[in-house]
């Protein structure tokens, strides 16, 4: 068992380029010394060591300190294609379907691993396959919308082609049609009756097909001279697709037409109202889910102590916690430190609590703080029933610290896999396997994972590892200083107050909101959002972003 787990740990290192998963530099002596005890007094308090101070078994210079990485490659496209889910929701609302019809179920998904979020401009190009998907999707939607008198009446109450084109066109294009566009789509209506026979439904169906394949529907635009303010209709679409995941409502388009999105205060008021709309909950759930890889629960495999049929229960519990954070007007601090987790019959044994009848919130005890010490996350970062500090540390670093990646050493030597020695702990085993990196690959990243060593690979609390006491101490070079921690709880408390962690979280929020990578020029915005995040909720961070002048300003970019 240990041999297999060690191999997985090693492959994790090698598969990620080893050096890419650490943000600190240091010599081999530092690695061994830090990993062995972290320099903290056993069982004592952790603290921050200055940027040039001594550091837990070695020195830590300014060059070792991490900072939020902002080296993205945005193209600043101003014609951003709708995502699959946005397309589905928009079609549902435009055509007044009582519920989504899964018309986009077979649409191609964005290429995984290219960007952090699937709404990033870099993965939303229209390849040849997409043309066929949008065509078939539009045809299916039109058939449903005009397939019965009831469906057609829900879509449009009148029987005049001009009114139908005007009403549906505004919904689809998220702005009024020009006179030329109205004439064009009235001709399309007439063509539908000529091709398929006289009757309102035939003309309406062809108009729907044409509208849903138009770039004016498929793309959300921010056109015009760089530096100019976005139009009220562009702002309505930008807010609605971000916060509600769908096209603007008729009421919001009316507000745009009436000039009620002209001022920052008006825009913030609309955003505030959207954040209380039930449709915002699954959007923010999607944000956290993509950030924290909830979709990967589907393929989770453990040992005989865990039934893979429970994988959906892990996702449900994680999503319920994200909903709790958002709807409770909470933020990153509570995401990191809340004693509450969501427990169902499948997960209760791993928490060591009595099984509830269904999913419900529970205080899971003083050993756990926030999401990263809950069973779903701990299972995700483990190999079978063995914990994987490399994976856990990497996931923590990427989600919470956004530290820059560095290339592996040119002379890296692959370790020889040998059987674990008697009584060798996972921590000792990882250190031994990663020493070939020269101390630079895993020096600090792994220590984030070591903080969670008091949980096994199934997320259960443990005091011993192969008969040895667990060592959860460590340190990490945060941008604000090299910081020591005693255990996972201590680490989460530190991160809950860390400017770097809040800047990183603000980076994720902003990247998801704007649909692009972020760069150094975005740092002042992110640091201002981080100040909000440190003492306020996710909703407040969102409102602060909406309030920032850059949100409503056109960028220079493509086309």
Instruction: Give the number of C-alpha atoms closer than 13 A to the C-alpha of residue 134, restricted to the C-beta side.
Output: 22
**In this predicted model, what pLDDT tens digit does every residue of 462-511 receive, in sequence order?**
999 999 999 999 999 999 999 999 999 999 999 999 999 999 999 999 99
Among 1-10, 216-225, 420-429, whose mean pLDDT is lowest? 1-10
Continuous segment of H or E residues that includes residue 472: none
Q: CA torsion sign, 215 to 216 to 222 to 226?
A: positive
User: Can you spell out the DSSP letters for 232-287?
Assistant: HHHHHHHHHHHHTSSPPPHHHHHHHHTTTTSSHHHHHHHHHHHHTSTTHHHHHHHH
Q: CA torsion sign, 218 to 220 to 224 to 225?
A: negative
**CA-based R_g, the chain, Å:** 26
Before 559, cis peptide (omega within 30)? yes
* Confidence band for 328, pLDDT divided at 50, 70 and 90: very high
Phi, psi of 476 (to 5 degrees): -150, 140
According to the model, what pLDDT value does residue 415 have? Answer: 60
- In the chain, what is the straight-line distance between the N-terminal and C-terminal CA atoms, in Å? 55
* Confidence band for 405, pLDDT divided at 50, 70 and 90: confident
Distance from C-alpha of 133 to C-alpha of 145, rounded to nearest angstrom:
18
**In this predicted model, what pLDDT tens digit does every residue of 149-199 receive, in sequence order?**
999 999 999 999 999 999 999 999 999 999 999 999 999 999 999 999 999
**In this predicted model, what pLDDT tens digit does every residue of 349-385 receive, in sequence order?**
999 999 999 999 999 989 999 999 999 999 998 877 8
Residues 53/482, Cβ–Cβ less than 8 Å: yes
According to the model, what pLDDT value does residue 416 have? Answer: 60
According to the model, what pLDDT value does residue 111 have? Answer: 83
Distance from C-alpha of 407 to C-alpha of 446, rounded to nearest angstrom:
17
Distance from C-alpha of 533 to C-alpha of 496, rounded to nearest angstrom:
10
SS3 301: coil
Q: What percent of the chain has pLDDT over 70?
A: 85
H-type alpha helices, 401-522: 426-434, 445-450, 488-496, 499-514
Q: CA torsion sign, 529 to 535 to 536 to 537?
A: positive
Which of 433, 414, 413 lies closest to 425 in space, CA to CA?
433
What separation in angstroms does the CA of 468 have from each of 15, 119, 378?
29, 46, 21
* Confidence band for 114, pLDDT divided at 50, 70 and 90: confident
* Confidence band for 14, pLDDT divided at 50, 70 and 90: very low
Structure tokens at 231: 């139009």
Distance from C-alpha of 466 to C-alpha of 559, rounded to nearest angstrom:
60
pTM score of the predicted model: 0.88
Q: State the average pLDDT over residues 536-540.
A: 98
48 has a pLDDT exceeding 70: no
Continuous segment of H or E residues that includes residue 165: helix 161-173
β partners of residue 465? 468
Domain ranges of the chain: 82-221
**In this predicted model, what pLDDT tens digit does every residue of 426-473 receive, in sequence order?**
999 888 888 766 555 667 899 999 999 999 999 999 999 999 999 999
According to the model, what pLDDT value does residue 329 have? Answer: 98
1 has a pLDDT exceeding 90: no
* Confidence band for 6, pLDDT divided at 50, 70 and 90: very low
According to the model, what pLDDT value does residue 271 have? Answer: 98
Q: State the average pLDDT over residues 380-403.
A: 92
Q: State the average pLDDT over residues 310-314.
A: 96
* Confidence band for 413, pLDDT divided at 50, 70 and 90: low
Phi, psi of 112 (to 5 degrees): -70, 145
User: Can you spell out the DSSP letters for 31-47?
Assistant: HHHHHHHTTSPTTS---
Structure tokens at 537: 């909720």
Q: What is the DSSP-derived secondary structure letter of residue 54?
A: B
According to the model, what pLDDT value does residue 439 have? Answer: 54
Distance from C-alpha of 222 to C-alpha of 233, rounded to nearest angstrom:
10
Write the CB contacts of 552 (distance below 8 Å, at least 6 apart in sequence).
229, 230, 235, 264, 267
419 has a pLDDT exceeding 90: no
Instruction: Give the number of C-alpha atoms closer than 13 A to the C-alpha of residue 281, restricted to the C-beta side.
Output: 12
According to the model, what pLDDT value does residue 400 have? Answer: 98
239 has a pLDDT exceeding 90: yes
Q: What percent of the chain has pLDDT over 90?
A: 76
According to the model, what pLDDT value does residue 19 have? Answer: 30
H-type alpha helices, 515-558: 523-535, 538-547
């Amino acid at each position: 068992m240990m041999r297999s787990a060690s191999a997985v740990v090693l492959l994790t290192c090698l598969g990620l380029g080893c050096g890419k998963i650490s943000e600190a530099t240091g010599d081999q002596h530092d690695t061994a010394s830090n990993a062995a005890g972290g320099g903290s007094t056993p069982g004592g308090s952790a603290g921050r060591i200055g940027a040039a101070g001594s550091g837990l078994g070695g020195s830590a210079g300014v060059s070792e300190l991490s900072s939020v990485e902002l080296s993205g490659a945005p193209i600043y496209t101003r014609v951003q294609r709708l995502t699959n889910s946005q397309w589905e929701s928009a079609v549902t609302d435009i055509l007044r379907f009582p519920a989504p019809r899964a018309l986009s179920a077979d649409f191609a998904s964005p290429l995984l691993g290219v960007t952090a979020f699937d709404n990033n401009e870099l993965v939303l190009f229209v390849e040849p396959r997409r043309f066929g998907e949008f065509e078939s999707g539009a045809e299916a939607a039109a058939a449903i919308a005009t397939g019965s008198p009831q469906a057609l009446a829900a879509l449009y109450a009148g029987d005049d082609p001009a009114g139908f084109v005007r009403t549906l066109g505004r919904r689809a294009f998220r702005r009024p049609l020009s006179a030329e566009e109205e004439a064009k789509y009235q001709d399309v209506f007439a063509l539908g009756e000529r091709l398929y026979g006289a009757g309102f439904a035939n003309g309406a169906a062809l108009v729907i097909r044409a509208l849903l394949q138009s770039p004016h529907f498929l793309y959300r635009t921010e056109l015009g001279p760089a530096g100019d303010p976005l139009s009220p209709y562009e702002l309505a679409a930008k807010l609605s697709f971000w916060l509600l995941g769908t096209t603007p409502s008729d009421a919001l388009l009316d507000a745009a037409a009436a000039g009620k999105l002209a001022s920052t205060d008006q825009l913030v008021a609309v955003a505030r109202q959207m954040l209380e709309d039930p449709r915002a909950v699954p959007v923010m759930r999607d944000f956290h889910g993509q950030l924290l890889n909830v979709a990967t629960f589907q393929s989770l495999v453990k040992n005989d102590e865990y039934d893979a049929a429970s994988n959906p229960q892990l996702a449900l519990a994680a999503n319920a916690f994200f909903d709790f954070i958002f709807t409770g007007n909470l933020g990153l601090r509570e995401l990191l430190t809340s004693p509450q987790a969501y427990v169902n019959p499948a997960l209760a044994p791993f928490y060591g609590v009595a099984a509830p009848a269904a999913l419900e919130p529970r205080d899971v005890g003083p050993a756990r703080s926030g999401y990263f010490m809950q069973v779903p996350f701990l299972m995700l970062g483990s190999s079978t029933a063995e914990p994987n500090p490399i994976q856990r540390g990497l996931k923590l670093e990427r989600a919470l610290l956004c530290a820059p990646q560095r290339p592996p050493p040119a002379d890296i030597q692959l370790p020889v896999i040998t059987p674990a020695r008697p009584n060798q702990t996972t921590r000792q085993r990882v250190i031994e396997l990663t020493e070939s990196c020269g101390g630079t690959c895993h020096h600090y990243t792994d220590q984030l994972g070591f903080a969670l060593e008091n949980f096994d690979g199934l997320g259960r609390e443990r005091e011993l590892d192969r008969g040895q006491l667990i060592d959860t101490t460590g340190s990490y070079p945060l941008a604000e200083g090299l910081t020591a921690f005693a255990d996972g709880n201590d680490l989460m408390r530190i991160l809950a107050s860390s400017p770097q962690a809040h800047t990183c979280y603000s980076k994720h929020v902003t990247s998801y909101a704007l649909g692009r990578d972020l760069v150094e020029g975005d740092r002042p915005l992110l640091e201002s959002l981080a100040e909000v995040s440190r003492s306020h909720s996710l909703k407040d961070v969102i409102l602060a972003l909406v309030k920032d002048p850059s949100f409503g300003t056109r960028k220079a970019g493509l086309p």
